[in-house]
Structure formats: C-alpha cells, structure tokens
Amino acid sequence: MGTTKSTGFSKKQNDLVIVLRAMAHPARLAIIQHLLKVNSCIGGELVDELPLAQPTVSRHLKELKDAGIIKGTIDGVKVNYCINSKKWNLIREQLDQLFATSVKDNDCC
Amino acid sequence: MGTTKSTGFSKKQNDLVIVLRAMAHPARLAIIQHLLKVNSCIGGELVDELPLAQPTVSRHLKELKDAGIIKGTIDGVKVNYCINSKKWNLIREQLDQLFATSVKDNDCC
DNA sequence: TGTTTATATTGCAATATTACGATCTATTGT
DNA sequence: ACAATAGATCGTAATATTGCAATATAAACA
C-alpha cells in the first residue's frame, strides 16, 4: 500500500492522472506557467525563479519531462526547456472533454 | 521533507494545486466522471463502481469533499454525493486561464 | 590539461499517500 | 430494544514524494 491502484481503471483515466499528478505541485505548476509566459525556451534560470534548491528544481523538471509536458534540449552547458505543445494541446482536449458535461445544480446538494 | 513547500508560491497557484491533487488519482477521477455522468446524486454505489474497498472509497470521497469538488448530504442511512457545480465551474475557469496562452512551437524544442 | 559553469544524480531523512481489515456510528425497520 | 444497513473512522503497513547536501557529469574556455 501507499501504491495507487491503477488496475480496474481505464487507460484514459490513468493517462490523465499521470498528467494531473505532474501538474499538482506548486513548483511544477509554476514552471509550466513560467514556460507558458516566456514562451521562448529558457535554461535553469528557473532555479532563480523558484524558492527551491537546484537539485530539487532539476527533479521537478524531470518529472514534467517524464509526464511529457515539457521538453528539454541540451545547448552546450545549458538546457533549454519548453512546453511540449503537442502534448499540451492534447491535455487541453482531455480536460475540455472532462469539463464538457454541464453540471446542473442538484436538489439534494 | 516529504512535505510540499508552498511558501514562495502564490495563493492562486497553491489553490489550483489542491484541486489538481484531488483529481490526480484514478479512483477520484473516476468518481468525478461518474458523478458528472449520472448527474443526479448517488450514494455509496460508488463502492460497486470502483475496484476498491469501502473504507478506501470513503477516504477518497472525503478528499474530494475537502477539496470542495463534491458535496455530500446525508439522506437517512445513505449519503448523496454530487459535484459542487459552483466549485466545478471555478476550476474550469482556472484551467481555461492556464490553457489560454497559445503555445507556439519553439525552434529549440 | 585544469577550471569554471550548468545541470543531473545519489543518498539520505522526513513526511504523505494509499489501501484494507476491524471497528464505530447512526439510522431504519422489526 | 434489536438487528440490519450504510458510511465513517481508526490502526497499521507498505510505498511514494519531497527536499537538500554532496557529488557526479559534461561542455566551454583558459
């Protein structure tokens, strides 16, 4: 236990969960938002932007990369990070789908 | 450690993270989707829908309730659960805002 | 080659999460 | 009052996550 049970749920559900998990951390959300804002790719100046030590930022970047949300290309000593636009649009679609159903006000709640 | 650092991030960021965290679990996502689908409030038949034991489902329901995503009203022995439409629409807005920025394909990535 | 610079990885330690069996609580029906 | 039913809570065990210091790696430059 401590392990999330993924069997018994659809692949679609589990896939979305992976992305949501990756986004569900202030540092990682901040990284995403920063990359969206500056649009152009930037290197590890993210470390200066965040209230976290360099190894910790590196770890979060890795998690975002593993989830497919960001991409990183080595540029000499530095690394350029940016949003994976293809994946980002896919996530948008998945969330649009989730929020497509209009929620009626229920009498019981 | 093990604790997520929230200082140094905006309240807006931390608030969204709370919601994303709540959604970032297959069981909880499944609960949300089920409640969206059936729309009308249902009780603990969610336990039958999910591959998890009753106490575990109860815990997940509590977490969704704590995050404000769902509401539960006692109806005799049963409990009616439903999406908190107000909160749900708010989340939608927050995500719309996050995804509002169009992501250009960057030359470096 | 040696040094600097930028980033990644490792190795902890602390805390959080997940899951389930057992148990408690509260309401309904007999 | 007593049993049945629906949920919540507790206790516990296993695993995951987070964060940082220390260290490793790898490219650029003297």
User: Along the 109 residues of chain A, how does pLDDT read in single tens digits?
Assistant: 789 999 999 999 999 999 999 999 999 999 999 999 987 667 778 999 999 999 999 999 999 999 999 999 998 899 999 999 999 999 999 999 999 988 877 666 6
CA distance B19 to B68: 8
Residue B53: helix, strand or coil by DSSP? Answer: coil
Binary contact (A109, B36; C-beta < 8 A): no
CA distance B50 to A40: 43
Residue B7: helix, strand or coil by DSSP? Answer: coil
Q: Nucleotides of chain D within 7 Å of a protein C-beta? A: 4-11, 13-22, 26-28
Position B15 pLDDT exceeds 90 = yes
Position B102 pLDDT exceeds 90 = no
Q: If phi over 0 gives left and psi between -120 and 50 gives alpha, with beta otherwise, what is residue B58?
A: alpha
Please state whether strand C lies within 7 Å of residue B92 at its CB atom: no
Burial class (CB in 10 A: 0-12, 13-18, 19+), A102: exposed
Nearest protein residue by Cα to C1' of nucleotide D18: B2
pLDDT band, very low/low/confident/very high, at B39 (cuts 50, 70, 90): confident
Q: Note the pLDDT of residue B106.
A: 67
Q: Note the pLDDT of residue B108.
A: 65
Binary contact (B82, A24; C-beta < 8 A): no
* Structural contact between residues B23 and B31, judged by C-beta atoms closer than 8 angstroms: no
Contacts of B4 in chain A (CB under 8 A): 25-26
CA distance A29 to B90: 18
φ, ψ dihedrals at B71, nearest 5°: -125, 150
Q: Residue B22 carries which side chain, given as an amino acid letter?
A: A
* Structural contact between residues A85 and B104, judged by C-beta atoms closer than 8 angstroms: yes
CA angle B87, B20, A9 (to 5 degrees): 105
- Å between A60 CA and nearest CA of chain B: 12
CA angle B51, B22, A22 (to 5 degrees): 100
Position B92 pLDDT exceeds 70 = yes
Binary contact (B16, A25; C-beta < 8 A): no
Please list, residue by residue across B55-66, b when 16 or more beta carbons sit within 10 angstroms of its beta carbon and e when fewer do.
Answer: eebeebbebbee
Quickly count helices (H) and strands (E) in chain A.
5, 2
Q: How many CB atoms lie within 10 A of CB B11?
A: 8
- Å between B24 CA and nearest CA of chain A: 5
